[in-house]
Amino acid sequence: MHVSQLPGEVQSLVLEYLHASSLRQAARTCCRWYELITTDPSATVDPAQGTMETLYRSNVLFRRYHPVCDVVRMCTQHLATYSHSPAQQNPTDAKKIPKFSPQLIRAVTEQFIQQRQSEIDHHATGKCTCSNSLTQCGGYNPDTAPKRPCTGAVLWVQSPVVVVGQIFGTWWDVLNIFLQCGNPLEDRTVRYLFLGSYVDRGDHGVPTALFLMALSILLGDRLQLLRGKHDNKSIGQVYGFFDEVKQGKWRLSNNPAEITRKSYQQVYRHFCDAFNYLPFAAVVDHHIFCTHGGLSPNLDLLQMTQLALPEDCESEMSAAVELLWAQPDPHLTTATWELNPRGCGWSYGKQAVTEFLNKHKLTHMLCGRHGKMSWTGFNSFFDHKAWYMFSPFHSHDKTTIVCVAVVKPRGGCERVVLQNLFT
């Protein structure tokens, strides 16, 4: 069947899809296709040729992206509903949490891994701009530096961008942030950088992590994810994510017989495999350093760009683990570094932060965690050069204040305290 034989609205979408200039543009078209297929009865063609859905899914790109679009559609339906009257919504109503099939989770996590692997391969070719960015940050001479390729472990982000701290599986807080800071699917000027720990502690780590991965696939550099301490196989088995997956409340089917040991272990492995591809740090406008934990005496910015990916972060002695578990200690006055009392990584003082920032011509560092949770949503140390944000409203069975950082063009950075719209 030729394209000209299709209904008018469908025909325009097909042409837009086939002539898409990028995979992301094609994916956005897929979302509109799928909506038309599932809501418009006229989208069905001659029975002998099947339905329009069959025609679309025969396309390679659509087969690749339709699971991602499914996740985004299900989650944004919640976002659209709550944007009208969020105060009237009840976050304890489990029926309003989006649910997924194991097959959909596998498809999205595998697509996320493929996208990250393609980015890693691009960095390995040496065609990326990391060397130019490192040169602008100082402490790097391309003529004398070791000829080791970067791995994509450090992102270079442009402002304006909203920097969000750890989420801890609080689905409602992700919606809250998008409602108050801008929906990235509707506002193309909004950028987000999440600083890790998407699961554990909260009850909805599965939809939270899956939604953010799907958005990262569709939006590219407009929504980027860093790795956190809790985005880890062994940590998740202790702090709740494994138990959440095992209980199966995220499943579309309510049949307990389908929740087998093999099925939930596979779902857990899919998430952990995707976490292993997350980068560890980002630099905004060559001025602001962002990471989940902090600094390590064994890593400068150049060495961070060469951290191997994928990384399972299971060894306590690895440099990546030191980066994730690091925490500030304002009482360190005589020493620059001390072993972290929590068992992994290092505690660092004002001198370590000052040396790192000066070496790389940076002005501030933004981090997503601190050894102690901040009930005010925000802590600053070392003459306000290091900021630590806490972004879930409900954690540790208590209510906190949520704070994000908004990095503006020309180096401006301000913290924004959000309201809890879901009371």
DSSP class per residue in 265-328 = HHHHHHHHHHHTT--SEEEETTTEEEESS---TT--HHHHTT--SS-----TTSHHHHHHH-EE
The two tokens of residue 281 are 């740090």
CB of 56 closer than 8 Å to CB of 33: yes
What residues contact 319, with CB distance under 8 A and at least 6 apart?
Answer: 296, 298, 299, 303, 307
Mark 81-95 as b/e (b = at least 16 C-beta within 10 Å): ebeeebeebebeeee
Does 230 qualify as catalytic in the annotation? yes
The two tokens of residue 85 are 């009257």
The two tokens of residue 26 are 């094609």
Is 415 strand, coil or helix?
strand
Alpha-carbon distance of 269 to 172, in angstroms, equals 25
The two tokens of residue 123 are 């960095």
Torsion angles phi and psi, residue 349, rounded to 5: -110, -170
End-to-end CA distance of the chain: 53
Name the packing angle between helices 8-18 and 23-39 (round to 10°). 160
The two tokens of residue 193 are 């950088």
Widest CA span of the chain, in angstroms?
Answer: 80
Torsion angles phi and psi, residue 19, rounded to 5: -105, 20
User: Is the N-terminal amide bond of 310 cis, ω within 30° of 0?
Assistant: yes
Is 245 strand, coil or helix?
helix
CB of 190 closer than 8 Å to CB of 183: yes
Q: Which of 66, 204, 230, 364 is catalytic?
A: 230
Helix (H) or strand (E) holding 308: none
Catalytic residues, which ones? 230
